[in-house]
Structure 1
Amino acid sequence: MTGTAHPELVAELTALLGERGVSVDLATRERASIDGCRLSPVISAKLPLGLADVVAYPANAEQIGLVVAAAARHGVPITPRGKGTGNYGQGIPMAGGLVLDTSRARAILEIGDGFVTAEAGAVLAMIENQAWATGQQLLMYPSTAQSTIGGFLAGGSGGTGSIAHGVIAGGPFVVALDVVHAIGDGELVHVEGTDAQPYLHNYGTAGIIARATVRLEPLQEWRAFYASFDDFHDALGVIMAIGELEPTPRLVSADLPTLADALPANAGIPKGRASLRAILDARAVAAASAIVEGSGGVVEDVREGAQEIMRLSMISYNHPIEWLQKSYPGTYFHVEVGGSALIDRIDEVHRVYPGAMLHAEAQKGRPIGMLAAEYESEEQVVAGFARLAELGVSTHNPHQWFVDVEIERTRALKARTDPASLLNPGKMPEPVPAAVASNPLMVGGSAA
């Protein structure tokens, strides 16, 4: 360990976690200093954005608290990390310092009637599997189901199940959290209900999630539903009707034939045809089939089993962009979009960017999606936001790493919980003058 940065901290953490619980190896530090942000060519062009000086692997929630306390006492920046599946650079240690890898703190502590309590590094797919064994299910999980629960709550917004239950922040999903503040005492602070909300979707900038309790509901009999259409307009035209079926689907997605051609062979997603996929309650399959066939589509397959449900989930939300990038390297970027214009004015939406194609998702009351297109420059990406807004399309910029929800609330909390600004530095936007703040294109490149 001699000659490393922060030798006193490294020594303290080694005494706490053991030799295998701390690393200053360069290759390890490099791997821990990047997340899934290469999905964005804008961010990729700016890499590297930071390099950890040391990586720590606490094995439980209490050790997460002790690691944060040690780093805070030594004045070392702390960047929390789950499985590194985030797409926006939230997990990059922009000020160096310590990367706190929670993936070994993975115990699922209790599954009760309507709830599960797990440590921050517990994987959502494992939690869902164990919940199924008790006749229950998570209200939602990310399409990247191998993500950790701490990473999902701190960095995600919604996913499979959001049609019924909305997004994480402000919704019914989170019951309670045990969080750690950067004040040097290592205490696990227990917060419930509305008091837990300020710690969600702010990338650990005001407190690091060490343990979480989230809500479960009775298990439903799910089916993976596959359909196809000659024309994407027909597929797009039925996603909202299928999304409004009862019992509420967990997921409804639609794509142009371009995605089918990029995916591995799958009998449910025939090449050259627009694809519609859904996770449906078994009681809704007949109604969904009637909607598809009444609009000129073909029901290709209906599959059952937890693995089939998870597999379908993994080609929703951002994942179609990953498949397109694998098949056509260096070509695609995406913008997160929403609003009825995605259906009513889709041809105009597609003309905003060269080679644009919409991956559509049904949500309550409106469609959302990922608009994939050929990448030219960051300026091209940002310029398209204004054109989309003129069409009535809301946008969110996935090519920046700043906290962009409840910013002032997070700043106020952070002033109390992180007085030395050690928690995930570089992720809070600087305060901006009112005239600039009124222009969404000038604040992190994001438009609402």
Structure 2
Amino acid sequence: MTPPDYSALESDLARLLGPRGVSSDLRQREKASVDGARMSPIIAELLPLGVADLVAFPTSAQELAAVVKLAVDHGAPITPRGKGTGNYGQGIPMPGGLVIDTSRARAIVEIGDDTITAEAGATMSALEQAARAAGSQLWMYPSTVHSTIGGFLAGGSGGTGTIAHGSNHMGFVVALDVVTPASGGRLIHVEGDEALGYVHNYGTAGIIARATVRIEPLQDWRGLYASFETFAGALSVLRALGRLRPTPRLVSADPPHITAQLPPDPAFPEGRASLRMIADAETVAEATAVIEGAGGRVEDVREGPGVSAALSVLSYNHPIEWLQKSEPGVYFHVEVSGDALVERIDEVQAVYPGGMLHIEAGHTAPIGMLAGIYESPEAVYAGIDRLTSLGVGVHSPHQWNVDFRLAETVALAARTDPAHLLNPGKLNPDYRGPVKGAIR
């Protein structure tokens, strides 16, 4: 196969986007070829995985579609990119090729009674602000609030707000406009189950150019910060707080050592476990009674439009990321779920040396990130087997292969991308993980 002529592709892209709409500068290409994958020591051992030959910066959904057509015409591999906030290499261009940076295509197109439509590069914080101005709020958004809507839907799973709604994106996603190599530069509108085929698979079947997602009536949120002498104290109230009505947007807790690594805050007293809530104002008194009844104390109750964002960035995997920054090269983590995280916490944390759990109330059961001291890939996967035997649900983040509806995505991509140009290396039905035989 003749390799793509990137000089010719760059010239065509410059005519379409203007001279600042495409770059072959090495620093730009390197910047567009990394994400947060070094959060996984297993993946970090395999990096670098590829560097883009070109980076394109479309400013609208229509331009994004036209860029894809040009890349297909030249036979160039295509990797879509939002803000690069993903953590596991899904946005790294493994074979090089063209990276399409969608972050300049950020128009918010329409706000309806129960939906908001925006182009792929619009940030989740911008969507939340626009919804708030209209008296609404997003159903959910990620812990990295400045990630793009296209990147969140293509790469993310759940987020703040999933206690009430769960992490199923099809409760959140109403419709998508996507572009594929087979669409000939046209945007394809998909809704319902058909849209699910383009969610959480890293742009391997089609690239999200525009999204319509659900919003709901705005609530009066409070940021409630509490502390406990021990992590066990925080765990004892987590599920009860998650069941308050109106439902909290987030209930999140960390043991003292993880809490100590978070950005300094008077609400994080030294040596104590932290519990944080995005709570409806109507439930603050009840939440306070639950916390104090279990021996905890409320450190602060904050209000204002920034409350949700401030606490969201201390949720999901972010506390573990702060831990890793404070002790580089030491810790890894796995995603965990289930009531065993509360009921068998000592056994759960003992699976890995130095084991510590960041935990959150979930839609049906607690979810969390279990950190441990990194020894080897084999030790990580052996621990996953032990966690499973304890009744813990586990997802390994230490791989970049599509693992959501893999068979369905492979079948869809066979129709939409017959030349396998979309994010090559990320859609492998025979993938078994960095450890041979380990499929997670």
Give the secondary-structure state (helix, strand or coil) at the position aligned to 1:306: coil
Q: Give the superposition deviation at 1:328.
A: 1.3
Distance in 2 of aligned mates of 1:168 and 1:364: 10
Give the secondary-structure state (helix, strand or coil) at the position aligned to 2:361: strand
Distance in 2 of aligned mates of 1:117 and 1:247: 26
Q: Give the superposition deviation at 1:102.
A: 0.2
Aligned to 2:211: 212
> Does the 8 Å contact 2:378/2:435 carry over to 1?
no
Matches within 5 A, 1:30-429: 30-169=30-169, 171-183=170-182, 185-429=184-428
> Does the 8 Å contact 1:235/1:254 carry over to 2?
yes
Give the secondary-structure state (helix, strand or coil) at the position aligned to 1:323: helix
Distance in 2 of aligned mates of 1:238 and 1:146: 30
Distance in 1 of aligned mates of 2:98 and 2:72: 10
> Does the 8 Å contact 1:37/1:44 carry over to 2?
yes
Q: Which amino acid aligns with 2:72?
A: A
Q: Structure 1, residues 396-426: CA drift from partner, whole Å, max 9, x if none?
A: 0111000001011001110110010000000
Distance in 1 of aligned mates of 2:292 and 2:265: 20
Distance in 2 of aligned mates of 1:396 and 1:360: 15
Q: Give the superposition deviation at 1:184.
A: 6.1
TM-score scaled by length of structure 2: 0.97
Give the secondary-structure state (helix, strand or coil) at the position aligned to 1:276: strand
Give the secondary-structure state (helix, strand or coil) at the position aligned to 2:137: strand
Q: Structure 1, residues 91-149: CA drift from partner, whole Å, max 9, x if none?
A: 00011100000000001111111111100000000110111111100000000000000
Unaligned 5+ residue runs, structure 2?
A: none
> Does the 8 Å contact 1:5/1:53 carry over to 2?
no
Give the secondary-structure state (helix, strand or coil) at the position aligned to 1:177: strand
Give the secondary-structure state (helix, strand or coil) at the position aligned to 2:341: helix
Q: Which runs of 4+ in 1 moved over 6 A?
A: none
Distance in 1 of aligned mates of 2:308 and 2:172: 20
> Does the 8 Å contact 1:136/1:216 carry over to 2?
yes
Give the secondary-structure state (helix, strand or coil) at the position aligned to 1:347: helix
Q: Give the superposition deviation at 1:430.
A: 3.3
Distance in 2 of aligned mates of 1:264 and 1:391: 33
Q: Which amino acid aligns with 1:411?
A: V
Q: Which amino acid aligns with 1:144?
A: T
Q: Which amino acid aligns with 1:11?
A: S
Give the secondary-structure state (helix, strand or coil) at the position aligned to 1:199: coil
Alpha carbons of structure 1 residues 337 and 289: separation in structure 2 relative to 1, 3 Å: same
> Does the 8 Å contact 1:403/1:429 carry over to 2?
yes
Distance in 2 of aligned mates of 1:106 and 1:395: 35
Task: Report % sequence identity.
Answer: 62
Q: Structure 1, residues 369-413: CA drift from partner, whole Å, max 9, x if none?
A: 000111111121111111111111111011100000101100111
Give the secondary-structure state (helix, strand or coil) at the position aligned to 1:76: coil
Distance in 1 of aligned mates of 2:297 and 2:436: 45
Q: Give the superposition deviation at 1:366.
A: 0.7
Alpha carbons of structure 1 residues 429 and 443: separation in structure 2 relative to 1, 3 Å: farther
Q: Which amino acid aligns with 2:25?
A: D
> Does the 8 Å contact 1:204/1:424 carry over to 2?
yes
Distance in 2 of aligned mates of 1:247 and 1:425: 44
> Does the 8 Å contact 2:109/2:118 carry over to 1?
yes
Q: Give the superposition deviation at 1:441.
A: 7.8
Distance in 2 of aligned mates of 1:173 and 1:309: 18
Distance in 2 of aligned mates of 1:63 and 1:264: 40
Give the secondary-structure state (helix, strand or coil) at the position aligned to 1:422: coil
> Does the 8 Å contact 1:336/1:370 carry over to 2?
yes
Aligned residues: 437
Distance in 2 of aligned mates of 1:249 and 1:154: 26
Alpha carbons of structure 1 residues 57 and 407: separation in structure 2 relative to 1, 3 Å: same
The alignment's C-alpha RMSD in Å is 1.6
> Does the 8 Å contact 2:229/2:272 carry over to 1?
yes
> Does the 8 Å contact 1:400/1:445 carry over to 2?
no
Distance in 1 of aligned mates of 2:127 and 2:369: 27
> Does the 8 Å contact 1:65/1:210 carry over to 2?
yes
